[in-house]
């Protein structure tokens, strides 16, 4: 395994077998997770994703790192109240929860206050929070990213697909969200629709699925300041990278990754994975691995 490729893929996939389209029973999802954790691709596995309300159902012997989905709320005050319940669920559980993922209410004027109150509530914990807002609302996205600039514990979450055509952002929409998100200086994660390393058309949902290798390499180049120009110009280059379907366009070595005239070192890849885009949630761990093997990348 080339060092640059391993740096991009290590701990990349948070396993979300409980969620659509897999929607597995808890026992089956846990069995899968433990099998993946003991397998040869275990180094690619990140956290097990579970609703905070269901943490009590996990066995005490479960020791894999977890990400909990919070309850959220329709207003800022409801979200903070729900956060208190989420934290009670976490404290009552013996499993190691590292991250809380929460949908924000569509009230951008409250984002600054919400972020500040969440940070206060998390002060006595080691938790980090990833906030999700719709990619289809650019002004809402920008309000979140502005609020995150003053944060030390919160990041953003990008939903990249779903069960229907409308759930998939265009390459331009995703590029806009990614470039502005990284400019906030806070880490992000992605979720849904990223089953394949490279983009491809999916007949089932009648949409073009984004590639997770494209997305994370875009984050690497943005974070490494490899893209010239202002934010809009960078977003256009990211859009082109997101649309790249040719695997031979990506040149991997132990020292770096190259796409067209852009180069990022292996160390820059590691830094971007820690600070820019940290993981993506997927209801399948096997499908991404199978596709990587078919490309000769695993």
Tokens of 192: 């849904």
Which residues fall within 8 angstroms of residue 169, CB to CB, at 6 or more apart?
135, 136, 160, 177, 210
The distance between the two most distant Cα atoms of the chain, rounded to a whole number of Å, is: 51
Range of the domain at 200: 3-294
Q: pLDDT value at position 204? A: 84
Tally of domains within the chain? 1
Q: pLDDT value at position 226? A: 81
**Sorting pLDDT into bands at 50, 70 and 90, what band is 60?**
confident
Q: Which CATH number belongs to the domain containing residue 193 in this structure?
A: 3.20.20.70
- Residue 116: other Cβ atoms inside 10 A: 14
Which residues fall within 8 angstroms of residue 266, CB to CB, at 6 or more apart?
3, 4, 7, 254, 255, 256, 257
Q: What is the pLDDT of residues 219-259, one digit of tens each?
A: 999 999 888 878 888 899 999 999 999 999 999 999 999 99
Which residue's entry shows tokens 């109240």?
81
Give percent of the chain above pLDDT 90.
89
Q: Taking residues 80-109, report their average pLDDT.
A: 95
Q: What is the pLDDT of residues 129-182, one digit of tens each?
A: 999 999 899 999 999 999 999 999 999 999 999 989 999 999 999 999 999 999
Q: What is the pLDDT of residues 189-201, one digit of tens each?
A: 999 999 999 999 9
């Amino acid at each position: 395994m080339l060092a640059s490729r391993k740096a991009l893929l290590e701990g990349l996939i948070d396993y979300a077998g409980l969620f659509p389209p897999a929607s597995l029973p808890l026992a089956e999802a846990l069995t899968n997770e433990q099998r993946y954790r003991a397998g040869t691709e275990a180094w690619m596995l990140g956290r097990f994703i579970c609703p905070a309300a269901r943490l009590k159902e996990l066995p005490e012997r479960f020791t894999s790192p977890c990400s909990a989905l919070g309850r959220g709320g329709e207003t800022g005050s409801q979200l903070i109240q729900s956060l208190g319940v989420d934290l009670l669920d976490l404290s009552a559980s013996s499993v190691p929860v590292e991250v809380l993922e929460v949908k924000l209410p569509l009230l951008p004027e409250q984002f600054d206050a919400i972020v500040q109150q969440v940070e206060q509530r998390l002060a006595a914990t080691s938790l980090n929070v990833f906030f999700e807002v719709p990619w289809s609302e650019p002004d809402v996205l920008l309000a979140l990213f502005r609020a995150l600039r003053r944060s030390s514990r919160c990041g953003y979450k990008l939903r990249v697909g779903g069960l229907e055509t409308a759930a998939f952002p265009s390459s331009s929409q995703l590029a806009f969200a990614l470039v502005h998100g990284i400019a906030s200086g806070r880490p992000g994660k992605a979720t849904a629709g990223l089953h394949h390393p490279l983009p491809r058309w999916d007949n089932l949902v009648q949409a073009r699925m984004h590639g997770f290798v494209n997305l994370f390499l875009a984050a690497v180049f943005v974070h490494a300041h490899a893209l010239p120009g202002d934010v809009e110009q960078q977003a256009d280059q990211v859009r082109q990278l997101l649309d790249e379907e040719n695997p031979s366009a990506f040149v991997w070595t132990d020292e770096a990754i190259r796409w067209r005239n852009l180069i990022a070192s292996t160390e820059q890849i590691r830094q971007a994975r820690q600070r820019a885009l940290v993981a993506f949630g997927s209801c399948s761990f096997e499908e991404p691995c199978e596709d990587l093997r078919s490309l000769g990348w695993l």
